[in-house]
Amino acid sequence: MTESSQTPKKPSLVDALIPVVFLITMLFSSVFIFDDPSGTNQVILILAAAVAALIGIKNGHTWREIEGGMIDTIKTSLQAILILLMVGSLIGTWILAGTVPTMIYYGVQIMSPDYFYVTACLVCALLGFSIGSSWTVAGTLGIGLIGIAAALDLSLGVSAGAIISGAYFGDKLSPLSDSTNLAAAVTSNDLFDHIQHMLWTTVPAFLIALIIYLFMGLGSSSSVVIEDIVNLQNAMRESFHINPFMLIPLLLLLGMAIKKLPALSTLICGTVAGCIFALLFQWDSVVALADDASLNPFASAFKGLLTAMFAGFTSVTDNPNLDELLSKGGMKSMLGTVGLIVNAMAFGGAMARTGLLARLVQAVLSKVKSTGGLIAATVGTCIGTNILAADQYLSIVLPGQMFIEPYKERKLKSINLSRTLEDSGTLTSALVPWNTCGAYMTATLGVSTFYYAPFAFFNLLCPIIAIIYGYFLIAVPSLDEPTNNPAD
């Protein structure tokens, strides 16, 4: 990378706003023009990165410098991309192995449509707390719950919102969570003090969300009758061997997650377990998926497994509901999401390297006049970083570094900052379609971010409650007083 021949000048606020206005205008335009704007969003993000780069060059940065920033930022998302691809393979092999069909088969028996949303939220919260990973919850239990919701003819948007709300509540309060540990580390706070202080905002938000899901479930208008469920279950039994033993790959993956083994290796093991169970118990389905009569049975099985891992499972039965429910998965289904993440990270890298992102934060801080304003500014910056930098971790690290001194200047304990970083940075990441978290949830659950975001009540409520607490000085300890934890 060559050095710039001149010292880059600091960008103006107008400079910083131009790429943002361009991005927002183009995104909203594509929503009205295209039925499915997901593909065009990738183009818009890379064009917005080009606009940011042009402004950076105007201010004295070199193209190589800006390109280096884009590439460095993309590198931070490579682990998420690999995880996303393996989740696609996991879904394909687990359907082929009968693991997902078994989850759906028993789930429609025990879960009432009236209480599905609140139950899904609670179950995901417990699992999220146990393993400390909202992604793992969505990629395992979430897949089965979405299948059950579809079988019961319930709203997939509300169902996904409930799953994500529960998963993020459990993740946020788990000492095993990487984002929770990161927020505490960035602000130099004790992990368990940080978790205790988060109870002030997370518990009220979660209780309100549960009440909403309860009433939405009681008022749901599921049109599925017992006969439809029986027909679906019979079709599953005709296509797969269904029994609780098929859930072993799920238990294996959850056990590895609880032990905090690396996510990628855990998913690979889960995928391999799916392949083994498919060969042992669903041989006919494996051969049928290969759909090649010229091959011998073993070659057909090999082709069937690879097809499930790359292209996903394709259900071909006399039951169209079952075919729609189980035809999914594979790395191929994740490629569009991978492209979205790469382009979004390129835009975030261009904004950060040219100083445009920091200039936006500086403008926000200049308007802060009170404690409530400071917390509101933190929330806004975290949300803005999630939108512009497209990464949950950056929305914790960058605002955490930028706001640590302003909190000290107002004599506020840094634990207020760590809580606010989680209330806004962690929780709103899943509500941005091109953010790594939003893209992952959409690809895994098969529900558009725009569709589930209005129903992810816990994620929506936490930032609001954080701002309210800031303006009314509720649970906002200063350096002159002890931390006011509800657990004390």
37-73 pLDDT per residue, tens? 667 878 888 999 999 999 999 999 999 999 999 999 8
Four-CA torsion 403, 454, 331, 304, nearest 10 degrees: 150
Tell me the pLDDT tens digit for each residue of 255-294. Answer: 887 787 887 888 899 999 999 999 999 999 999 999 888 8
DSSP H stretches of helix in 224-334: 226-239, 248-258, 263-281, 283-290, 297-310, 320-326
pLDDT of residue 40: 81
How does the average pLDDT of the chain come out, rounded? Answer: 88
Give the pTM: 0.79
In sequence order, the 6+-apart residues with CB closer than 8 A to the CB of 280 are none
Report the greatest alpha carbon distance in the chain.
Answer: 79
Residue 466 pLDDT greater than 70, yes or no? yes
Identity of the highest mean pLDDT range in 123-137, 316-330, 373-387:
373-387
Tell me the pLDDT tens digit for each residue of 428-459. Answer: 999 998 888 998 999 899 999 999 999 999 99
What number of CA atoms fall less than 13 Å from residue 384's CA on the CB side? 24
Q: Which whole number is the average pLDDT over 373-384?
A: 92
pLDDT of residue 421: 95
Four-CA torsion 341, 186, 175, 454, nearest 10 degrees: -40
pLDDT of residue 482: 59
Instruction: Give the chain's radius of gyration (CA, Å).
Output: 24
pLDDT of residue 228: 72
Q: Which residue has the higher pLDDT, 417 or 358?
A: 417
Rounded Cα distance between 187 and 143, Å, is 35
pLDDT of residue 35: 67
Residue 265, classified by CB atoms within 10 Å of its CB into exposed (0-12), middle (13-18) or buried (19+), is exposed
Contact 341, 436 (CB under 8 A): yes
Q: Which residue has the tokens 């091109």?
A: 434
Q: Which whole number is the average pLDDT over 364-388?
A: 89
Residue 121 pLDDT greater than 60, yes or no? yes
